Amino acid sequence: MISNNAKSNLAIFASGSGSNAQKIIEYFDASLNAEIGLVVSNRAEALVLERAHKAQIDTQVFSNSQFKEGTEVIRLLQNLKIDYIILAGFLLKIPIALIRNFPRKIINIHPALLPKYGGKGMYGKHVHQAVFDHFEVESGITIHYVNEAYDEGQIIFQKSVTLELLDTPDIIATKVLALEHHHYPRVIDNLLTLSN
């Protein structure tokens, strides 16, 4: 479907390595649907900022308390006319003020099949360790809207992967990350197409 509307302007929020951010940046590089207007982090040393600089994307670091309070973050996003916020390994809770200013415009990816293995403290390797500890025969990804409760917003997309008996938490993480890298940019793209 070809849209007549202008490109969507995306902000990516990330706290760490930003391998998902990288895939999203590459995917939308030549897109008519969206561009990455900003990469935001709460950690000045996060590798994701380097990735953004290499791609000539503006970056902004806010402190944890600035995120919690929200006003400056919201002001910047509004000034830059950001349409969607894409969370890609962003570890802080999104404040209610930000959610209210961007209703159904904040999207997250979780490295498990929600509602299993979600909630506070369930991030990164903690998720894969829990999946391993429970002898799960599958894991996967969940892409969802962000609401006031951790990992409880409406689910947009899920994809599972089969786990083998000998899969360690590291192997589970690798399998799940491959799904994230493939699907996250494409699901965002579809979402933008449908809402334009």
Burial of 1 (0-12, 13-18, 19+ CB in 10 A): exposed
Q: Compute the distance between CA of residue 126 and CA of residue 117 in angstroms, rounded to an integer.
A: 9
Report the nearest approach of ligand GRF to the CB of residue 47 (Å): 8
Report the nearest approach of ligand GRF to the CB of residue 22 (Å): 8
Instruction: Tell me if residue 126 is catalytic.
Output: no
Closer residue to ligand GRF, CB minimum distance, 77 or 107: 107
Report the nearest approach of ligand GRF to the CB of residue 112 (Å): 9
The maximal CA–CA distance of the chain, rounded, in angstroms, is 51
Report the nearest approach of ligand GRF to the CB of residue 20 (Å): 3
Q: Compute the distance between CA of residue 171 and CA of residue 192 in angstroms, rounded to an integer.
A: 32
Closer residue to ligand GRF, CB minimum distance, 5 or 176: 176
Give the binding site for ligand GRF (CB under 6 A). Answer: 14, 16-21, 88-89, 109-111, 123-124, 177, 180
Closer residue to ligand GRF, CB minimum distance, 150 or 196: 150
Please give the residue whose beta carbon sits closest to ligand GRF in the complex.
89
Closer residue to ligand GRF, CB minimum distance, 25 or 77: 25
**DSSP SS3 for 39:** strand
Cα 78 off chain centre by: 19
Burial of 150 (0-12, 13-18, 19+ CB in 10 A): middle
Q: Compute the distance between CA of residue 2 and CA of residue 6 in angstroms, rounded to an integer.
A: 11
Catalytic pick from 53, 110, 128, 144?
Answer: 110
The catalytic site residues sit at 110
